[in-house]
Amino acid sequence: MSIEDIFLWLQRSQLRATLTVERAPVARIFIVDAGVINRATSNDSQDDIGELLLGAGLLDGASLDEARKVQVDTGVPLIRILTMVDKVDEARLRSVLEERALAAIGDVFTWEDGTFAVETGKASGEAVEIQIALPLERCIEAGRRHLQDFQSGGAEAEWASESLISAVVAEPSVDDDIEAARRMFADGRGLDALDIIEKVCENHPDSEAAGELRASIERALFAELSQRLLSEFRIPKLLVDRDDLASLPLSEHERYLATRVDNRWDLLSLLRVSPMREVEALITFQRLADRGIISL
């Protein structure tokens, strides 16, 4: 199983988990919750947050030295010291942390050996001063791009701190997200592509390009899923305790359909009585199956 497969599984399952990826002497840890990475740590000296801030021009050497002395004397985390004394803006710091996490993901995507471990149901035993929020679909796409660059041997494959921090301030544009979804769709990853384009449509409802791509992906997925799931009689089965549905991280549509699965109604009947569009309902049933909440 590749590291990409692990990230895809975490994305689909929406589990709370700690992922540790190790290739001696480097170990990287990613804290994931409901499809979002909210913390990334490493024992790699190149990931030192102070040096990254210094290289990005967000902190001067004297301030960093002073903060490190306070850290040694008090044991307070460096990030907390810098924010307490207003040496670094919290929003810029969060951006640096997110880009550092993307760089770490890009790095592990290129590893040809190493080990990984996943602890589900565990987020972190430590308080986090600055939490990041990186959707796994963005992380996976970034990892794939870096792997392609790495394999091509291009200079852009190196994640030097100067280059990675320079791109930190700008969020991906609408066109970037649409293109990422388009590439995923072309590669046969329709559900992943739909996840991205749905968020684009939600945030930018006036984007005609996003709306058209979403319609194309939905048509393709409906044709594929109809042929596979509706060609024979199927009765969906609930695989989790019904009382647990309220606490699971489900969307409104997922929660609605999951509560309708009673191990008696067949799939076609459930689609017909759903107030959702048939394509939305069928895709939602597939997502529930991928997450292990129902069987089809």
Q: Which residues of 93-102 are buried (b: 16+ CB within 10 A; e: fewer)?
A: bbbbbbbbbb
Q: Is residue 1 packed enough to be buried (19+ CB in 10 Å), middle (13-18) or exposed (0-12)?
A: exposed
More confident position, 159 or 281 = 281
Q: How far apart are CA 16 and CA 30, in angstroms?
A: 11
pLDDT tens sequence across 105-117? 988 898 888 888 8
Q: How confident is the model at residue 86 (pLDDT cuts 50, 70, 90)?
A: low
3-state SS string over 213-241? HHHHHHHHHHHHHHHHHCCCCCCCEECCC
Residue 137 has pLDDT above 70, yes or no: yes
pLDDT tens sequence across 209-241? 999 999 999 999 999 999 999 999 999 999 988
Which H or E element spans position 1? none
pLDDT score at 84: 64
Chain centroid offset of residue 284 CA: 19
**pTM of the predicted model, to two decimals?**
0.48
Alpha helices in the chain (DSSP H): 3-13, 49-55, 61-74, 78-84, 90-109, 136-152, 161-166, 174-186, 190-203, 208-229, 252-260, 267-273, 278-290
- Report which DSSP code applies to 188: T
* List of residues 6+ apart from 234 with CB closer than 8 A: 266, 267, 268, 296
Residue 123 has pLDDT above 60, yes or no: no
Q: How far apart are CA 151 and CA 279, in angstroms?
A: 38
Q: How far apart are CA 87 and CA 83, in angstroms?
A: 6
pLDDT score at 16: 81
* Window from 42-46, 159-163, 173-177, 247-251 with minimum mean pLDDT: 159-163
Chain centroid offset of residue 213 CA: 21
Mean pLDDT of the chain: 80
Q: How confident is the model at residue 155 (pLDDT cuts 50, 70, 90)?
A: very low
Q: Look-up: residue for tokens 């001696």?
A: 24
Q: How confident is the model at residue 277 (pLDDT cuts 50, 70, 90)?
A: very high
pLDDT tens sequence across 279-290? 999 999 998 998
More confident position, 159 or 50 = 50
pLDDT tens sequence across 2-38? 788 888 888 877 778 888 888 888 888 999 887 889 8
pLDDT score at 46: 58
